[in-house]
Amino acid sequence: MPRVLDPELRHALAARIRYYNEMGIYDFYRRPAQESAENESVRTAASVEIAVPSFGIQPETRAEMTPRKAAAVAVPVAVEENMFEVIVTKPEQGVSDPVKALKLIREDLGDCTRCPLHKQGRKQIVFGVGNPTAELMFVGEGPGADEDEQGEPFVGRAGQLLNNMIKAMGIAREQVYIANIVKCRPPGNRTPEREECETCSPFLMRQIAVIKPKVIVALGAVAAKTLLAMSASMAQLRGRFYDFKPAGVRSNDPNWDGCKLAVTYHPAFLLRDPRQKGEAWKDLQMVMKELGL
Ligand code: SF4
pLDDT of the residue at 122: 97
With a 6 A CB cut-off, is 115 part of the ligand 1 pocket?
A: yes
Cβ of 114 below 6 Å from ligand 1: yes
Q: What's the pLDDT tens digit per position in 223-239?
A: 999 999 999 999 999 99
Tell me the whole-structure pTM to 2 decimals: 0.73
Burial class (CB in 10 A: 0-12, 13-18, 19+), 267: buried
∠ Cα 293 129 202 (to 5°): 100
pLDDT beneath 50, residues of the chain: 1-2, 31-88
Which residue's CA is the closest to the ligand 1 atom numbered 2?
200
**pLDDT for res 12:** 63
From atom 6 of ligand 1, which residue's Cα is the shortest distance away? 184
Contact 142, 181 (CB under 8 A): yes
Å from CA of 198 to ligand 1 middle: 10
User: How far is 78 from 2, CA to CA, in rounded Å?
Assistant: 8
Read off the pLDDT of residues 160-194 as tens digits, 9 standing for 90 and up.
999 999 999 999 999 999 999 999 999 999 999 99
Q: For residues 187 and 75, what is the distance between their CA atoms, to the nearest angstrom? A: 37
Q: In angstroms, rounded to a whole number, what is the distance separating the alpha carbons of residues 90 and 108? A: 9
pLDDT at 42: 35
C-beta of 204 in contact with ligand 1 (< 6 A): no
- Residue nearest atom 8 of ligand 1, based on CA coordinates: 112
CA of 56 from ligand 1 middle (Å) equals 30
